[in-house]
């Protein structure tokens, strides 16, 4: 019996239904479990439709937008600082052997420390203010990005670099047209991981020390037993993590394509 073309396309991944169906199924099960399960009618497990209605109400009142804007600003600031410093130091470590030998022990020593492990020290050093979550995010982004950048550059085939030298390419041209394009996938892997972690870190920092933002909104909702507000904030968080990952994926394909065209 011949397999229908629709099923072939679905199996081969030419259609996106295999990505959409599990998501729809998840939210449908959530809705049914909340309405007909053990917690039916209870405020501790609201249905997905109720969460969406509460999210819309929070945006309409300005409460969600105000807190979301605060969190987004902190994430972008920390992500920018951590990205610039992480890629910069990582490039130096990957390109210069002496720099790698000097900094590698320090990076290896500090990298395993969770970013939130710095929170008590930073609260004492810089106080509880807007700088605190930005500093936490910067630290959390810096180490994995520095590690991935250095590793990506050092993993480039030395024969390619040697061939570029023979052809008379300058050090700058070798770096930007040979090394970075080949190291880009590993660098963007670090960026994607760091972007997701930045949202988790800012949420934890806001829960502990900051009176505004999604984390602070979750803590206020917890004290009022408003599970619908907590879930609304978590849905926003997950959507932003997914959006950042998709944006970075598009940037990666565009940047690598431009590098390839100009090579």
Look up the CATH number of the domain holding residue 200.
1.10.3720.10
Residue 3 has pLDDT above 60, yes or no: no
Each residue's pLDDT tens digit, 181-222: 888 888 888 898 888 889 988 988 898 878 889 999 999 999
Residue 193 falls within a domain, yes or no? yes
Non-local (6+) Cβ contacts of 41 within 8 A are none
Residue 45 falls within a domain, yes or no? no
Say whether pTM exceeds 0.95. Answer: no
Chain mean pLDDT for the chain: 85
Residue 184 falls within a domain, yes or no? yes
Domain that holds residue 198: 52-262
Residue 175 falls within a domain, yes or no? yes
pLDDT of residue 168: 76
Look at the chain and report how many structural domains it folds into. 1
Residue 23 falls within a domain, yes or no? no
Residue 8 has pLDDT above 60, yes or no: no
Residue 214 falls within a domain, yes or no? yes
Each residue's pLDDT tens digit, 125-162: 988 888 999 999 999 999 989 989 998 888 888 788 77
Each residue's pLDDT tens digit, 67-78: 999 999 999 999
Residue 42 falls within a domain, yes or no? no
- Nearest to residue 234, comparing CAs of 192, 199, 191? 199
Cα torsion 157, 160, 163, 165 to 10°: value is -90
Cα(235)–Cα(150) distance, integer angstroms: 34
Residue 138 falls within a domain, yes or no? yes
């Amino acid at each position: 019996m011949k397999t229908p073309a629709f099923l072939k396309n679905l199996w081969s991944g030419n259609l996106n239904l295999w990505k959409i169906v599990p998501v729809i199924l998840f939210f449908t099960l959530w809705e049914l479990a909340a309405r007909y399960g053990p917690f039916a009618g209870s405020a501790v497990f609201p249905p997905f439709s109720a969460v969406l209605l509460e999210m819309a109400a929070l945006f309409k009142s300005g409460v969600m937008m105000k807190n979301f804007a605060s969190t987004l600003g902190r994430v972008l600031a920390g992500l920018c600082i951590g990205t610039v410093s992480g890629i910069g130091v990582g490039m130096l470590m990957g390109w210069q052997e002496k720099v790698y030998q000097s900094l590698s022990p320090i990076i290896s020593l500090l990298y395993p420390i969770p970013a939130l492990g710095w929170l008590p020290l930073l609260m004492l050093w810089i106080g509880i203010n807007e700088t605190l979550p930005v500093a936490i995010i910067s630290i959390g982004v810096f180490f994995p990005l520095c590690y991935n950048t250095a590793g990506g550059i050092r993993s480039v085939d030395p024969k390619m670099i040697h061939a570029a030298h023979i052809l008379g390419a300058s050090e700058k041209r070798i770096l930007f047209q040979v090394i970075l394009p080949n190291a880009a996938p590993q660098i963007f892997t670090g960026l994607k991981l760091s972007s997701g972690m930045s949202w988790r870190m800012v949420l934890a920092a806001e829960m502990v020390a900051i009176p505004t933002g999604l984390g602070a909104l979750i803590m206020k909702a917890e004290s009022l037993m408003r599970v619908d507000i907590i879930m609304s904030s978590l849905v926003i968080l997950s959507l932003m993590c997914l959006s950042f990952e998709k944006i970075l994926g598009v940037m990666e394909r565009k940047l690598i394509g431009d590098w390839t065209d100009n090579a």
